[in-house]
Amino acid sequence: MRYRLLIWAALAAFAIDQISKVLVVHVMRVAEGDIDVLPPLLVFKYGENRGINFGLFQGNTEAARWVLIGVSIAISAAVLVWLMRSAPSKIMLLSGGLLIGGALGNVLDRVLYGYVLDFLNMSCCGINNPFVFNLADVFIFAGAIGLILFDGKKPS
């Protein structure tokens, strides 16, 4: 099957995201206090994201929650259709799978909790980063960058 890589990448991104949230949020109980992993470079801090990546466009209403769920599903579907209608390279299939798996991981959070669970905080070089994110955000970002950089089109 031509799209096996996309499916496996999506499933892996989704599973890794959800397992990491269960471990850090529910097992390690990061909501009870920050966990220094490699301070200040990597600290686990609890966050509830009602917006999009990195807390942008925060919305505390049920309508905003369902709009963001719909947008995430629509983008995932659009990426899937785009890849199925083109002749994607393996790196594009991998990238699309990462993006879709990450987006659906955050969708599941919104359905279950009403917000996205975040726990990663990275600071460096005297700059204190106030934002938290999760592995789904990393997969979404990496997938989008991969799709942009390796879309197979030659520059004109």
Amino acid, res. 5: L
Q: Is 114 left (phi over 0), alpha (psi -120 to 50) or beta?
A: left
pLDDT digits (tens, 9 = 90+) for 75-91: 999 999 999 999 899 99
Instruction: Name the catalytic one among 34, 36, 109, 137.
Output: 137
Q: Is residue 81 a contact partner of residue 74, using CB atoms and an 8 Å limit? A: no
Residue 17 appears among annotated catalytic residues: no
Please say whether the dihedral angle defined by the alpha carbons of residues 111, 107, 59 and 115, taken in this order, is positive or negative: positive
36 has catalytic annotation: no
pLDDT digits (tens, 9 = 90+) for 29-55: 999 999 999 998 999 999 998 876 545
Kindly state the tokens that stand for 18.
């959800």
Per-residue pLDDT reduced to its tens digit, 49-67: 887 654 555 566 788 889 8
| CA neighbor of 104 nearest in space, from 154, 143, 148 | 143
Catalytic residue among 34, 36, 109, 118: 118
Classify residue 7 as left (phi > 0), alpha (psi -120 to 50) or beta: alpha
d(CA 54, CA 9): 23
Reported pTM: 0.90
